[in-house]
C-alpha cells in the first residue's frame, strides 16, 4: 500500500501510523507537503477506523444540525481507533496507549515542525482535597485497576456510564456550537485518586482557534471535596522553556533559581492573578517561551536520550482562563537535568511544570495553547 507523497506532516497521520505499528500492520510512507482530499483519503486508507470527521449528525453523542464541513476534525470513529481528538491541521490531544506514560494527556503540535508522533508536552491531572496540601498525581500513582503506573484515563461522550473503558473503545466526542463557533468536545474520565479525589475533564477544540485546547475540570458526586484540581503541563524541559511572560515583565528561569544544582525539581515559583496579562475580554493569560533562537540546534551531553532532543521550530506555550477568579495563580518549577536521568539540560535550569491553578469550582476551564514563535537573539 502506497500513500500519496503529498500527504502533510500531521499528528493525525503520525498517531495513526504508530497505532498500526503497534499492531504489526505495515504503514505507508508519509510525504512532506500538500493538503486536501488526497491527504484525508490516505489517512482513511491506513486507518479505516480513524477519520477526519465531516459530519456530526450521525455521531454518537453528537449534536444534530451542526455541520463539520467548514472545519476538519480528528476523532475516533469506532473500536480500535487511536484515542485522538482535535484539529486536522492544528493541535490535537491523545490518550494512552499512544506513546508516552499513562495518566497524561498527550499534546501534539506538528505545525511547529514536530516530527510524526512527537509529543510537544504532556498534561497531568493533580487534584488536592479541600484543606490539604498534597496533590494527587495522575502520572505517578499506581492504578488500582491493574496495578500499573499511572492512573487510567478513558473517554466518553456523556456520563451515563462512568465505568472504566478499554483503550480500544475510545469515544468519538461530539460536535457542538459555542458562541456560534463549531467545536469538538469529548469527556476524559480519570480513575479515582489515592486521596479520594474523583474527577473528570471536558476537552474543547474551537474551530476558530486551531492551536489550543480547553480543559475544564469537574468532580464526580462521590469525590472528596476539592480545594484545587490542577491541570499542569509537565514537560517544559523538552522545549527548554525559560522565559515566563507576565503583565509587566518577563521572568527568566535562572533568576528564580540561580543557585539550584540538584537533579530533582526546584520549589515552585508562584505568580498571583494581579501579575498576569489581561486580555481585552478580561481573560488572564500567561506564556512561556525558550530563550534560544533555534532550540533544535542545541548540543546535548553524551548519553542524553533521543526523546529529549528538541525538534522543530521555537514555540510559545501558554495558559489562559477566560473567567478568572480571586485566588487564581500561575506556578512553575524547574530542573537542571532531564527527568529520570542525570543528563544536564543544555543551557542550565529550565521550566518543567507550567500551570494555571485556582480554587476549585466545577466546570472551570483553562486553555492550553502552542503557537509558532519567531525568536530573535537579545
CA-CA distance, 192 to 196, in Å (whole number)?
Answer: 6
Indicate if 225 and 79 belong to the same structural domain.
Answer: yes
pLDDT of residue 298: 97
Nearest to 75 by CA among 67, 84, 66: 84
Indicate if 83 and 135 belong to the same structural domain.
Answer: yes
Q: 315: which DSSP letter? A: E
pLDDT of residue 70: 62
What is the pLDDT tens value at each position of the chain, 378 positions in all?
222 222 233 344 444 444 444 433 322 222 333 333 333 332 332 233 344 443 332 333 333 223 344 689 999 988 889 999 999 999 999 999 999 999 999 999 999 999 988 999 999 999 999 999 999 999 999 999 999 999 999 999 999 999 999 988 999 999 999 999 999 999 999 999 999 999 999 999 999 999 999 999 999 999 999 999 999 999 999 999 999 999 999 999 999 999 998 999 999 999 999 999 999 999 999 999 999 999 999 999 999 999 999 999 999 999 999 999 999 999 999 999 999 999 999 999 999 999 999 999 999 999 999 999 976 544
Of the three residues 192, 219, 234, the one that is the final residue of a domain is 234
Q: Got the DSSP string for 249-292?
A: -EEEHHHHSTT---SSPPPPEEEEGGGSEE-TTS-EEEEEEES-
pLDDT of residue 375: 63
Indicate if 184 and 312 belong to the same structural domain.
Answer: no
Asked if 312 and 112 touch (Cβ cutoff 8 Å), the reply is yes
CA-CA distance, 42 to 45, in Å (whole number)?
Answer: 5
pLDDT of residue 64: 28
Identify the three-state secondary structure at position 54: coil
Pairing between β-strand 350-357 and β-strand 226-233 as defined by DSSP bridges: antiparallel
Indicate if 195 and 251 belong to the same structural domain.
Answer: no
What's the structural domain count of the chain? 2
Of the three residues 179, 204, 234, the one that is the final residue of a domain is 234
Asked if 368 and 317 touch (Cβ cutoff 8 Å), the reply is yes
CA-CA distance, 179 to 315, in Å (whole number)?
Answer: 28
Indicate if 139 and 69 belong to the same structural domain.
Answer: yes
Pairs from 247-253 (Cβ < 8 Å, separation ≥ 24): 247/275, 247/276, 247/277, 247/278, 248/275, 252/291, 253/332, 253/334, 253/348, 253/349, 253/350, 253/351
Indicate if 217 and 312 belong to the same structural domain.
Answer: no
Indicate if 308 and 229 belong to the same structural domain.
Answer: no
pLDDT of residue 171: 97
Residue that has been written with the C-alpha cell 491506513 in this structure: 46
Pairing between β-strand 212-219 and β-strand 365-372 as defined by DSSP bridges: antiparallel
Instruction: Tell how many helices (H) and how many strands (E) occur in the chain.
Output: 4, 21
pLDDT of residue 374: 78
Distances (CA, A) of 74 to 26, 111, 127, 211, 330: 22, 15, 29, 14, 30
Nearest to 100 by CA among 307, 322, 338, 312: 307
Indicate if 308 and 177 belong to the same structural domain.
Answer: no
Regarding pTM above 0.75, the answer is yes
Indicate if 196 and 225 belong to the same structural domain.
Answer: yes
pLDDT of residue 329: 98
Residue that has been written with the C-alpha cell 480543559 in this structure: 215
Distances (CA, A) of 286 to 69, 93, 307: 33, 21, 27
pLDDT of residue 376: 57
Domain range for residue 146?
1-234
CA-CA distance, 254 to 249, in Å (whole number)?
Answer: 15
Indicate if 173 and 242 belong to the same structural domain.
Answer: no
Indicate if 106 and 132 belong to the same structural domain.
Answer: yes
Q: 316: which DSSP letter? A: E
Indicate if 34 and 64 belong to the same structural domain.
Answer: yes
Of the three residues 207, 234, 261, the one that is the final residue of a domain is 234
Amino acid at each position: 500500500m502506497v500513500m500519496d507523497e503529498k500527504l502533510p506532516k500531521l499528528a493525525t497521520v503520525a498517531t495513526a501510523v504508530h497505532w498500526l505499528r503497534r499492531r504489526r500492520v505495515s504503514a505507508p510512507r508519509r510525504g512532506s507537503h500538500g493538503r486536501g482530499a488526497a491527504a484525508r483519503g490516505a489517512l482513511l486508507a491506513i486507518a479505516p477506523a480513524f477519520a477526519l470527521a465531516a459530519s456530526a449528525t450521525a455521531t454518537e453523542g453528537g449534536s444534530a444540525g451542526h455541520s463539520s464541513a467548514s472545519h476538519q476534525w480528528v476523532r475516533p470513529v469506532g473500536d480500535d481507533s487511536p484515542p485522538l481528538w482535535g484539529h486536522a491541521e492544528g493541535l490535537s490531544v491523545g490518550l494512552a496507549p499512544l506513546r508516552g506514560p499513562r495518566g497524561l494527556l498527550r499534546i501534539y503540535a506538528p505545525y511547529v515542525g514536530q516530527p510524526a508522533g512527537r509529543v510537544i508536552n504532556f498534561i497531568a491531572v493533580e487534584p488536592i482535597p479541600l484543606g490539604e496540601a498534597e496533590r494527587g498525581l495522575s502520572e505517578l500513582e499506581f492504578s488500582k485497576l491493574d496495578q500499573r503506573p499511572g492512573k487510567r484515563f478513558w473517554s466518553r461522550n456523556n456520563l451515563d456510564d462512568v465505568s472504566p473503558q478499554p483503550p480500544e473503545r475510545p469515544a468519538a466526542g461530539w460536535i457542538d456550537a459555542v458562541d456560534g463557533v463549531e467545536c469538538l468536545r469529548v469527556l476524559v474520565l480519570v480513575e479515582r485518586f489515592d486521596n479520594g479525589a474523583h474527577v473528570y475533564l471536558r476537552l474543547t477544540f474551537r474551530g476558530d482557534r486551531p492551536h489550543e485546547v480547553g480543559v475544564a475540570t469537574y468532580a464526580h458526586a462521590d469525590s472528596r471535596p476539592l480545594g484545587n484540581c490542577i491541570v499542569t503541563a509537565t514537560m517544559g524541559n523538552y522545549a527548554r522553556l525559560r522565559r515566563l511572560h507576565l503583565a509587566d515583565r518577563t521572568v527568566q528561569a535562572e533568576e528564580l533559581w540561580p543557585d539550584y544544582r540538584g537533579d530533582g525539581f526546584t520549589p515552585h515559583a508562584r505568580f498571583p492573578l494581579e501579575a498576569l496579562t489581561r486580555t481585552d475580554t478580561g481573560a488572564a493569560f500567561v506564556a512561556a517561551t525558550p530563550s534560544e533562537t533555534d532550540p533544535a540546534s542545541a548540543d546535548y551531553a553524551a548519553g542524553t536520550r533521543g526523546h529529549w532532543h528538541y525538534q522543530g521550530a521555537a514555540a510559545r506555550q501558554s495558559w489562559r482562563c477566560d473567567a478568572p477568579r480571586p485566588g487564581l495563580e500561575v506556578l512553575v518549577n524547574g530542573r537542571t537535568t532531564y527527568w529520570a536521568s542525570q543528563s544536564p539540560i543544555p543551557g542550565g535550569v529550565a521550566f518543567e511544570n507550567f500551570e494555571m491553578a485556582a480554587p476549585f469550582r466545577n466546570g472551570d476551564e483553562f486553555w492550553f495553547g502552542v503557537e509558532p514563535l519567531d525568536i530573535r537573539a537579545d
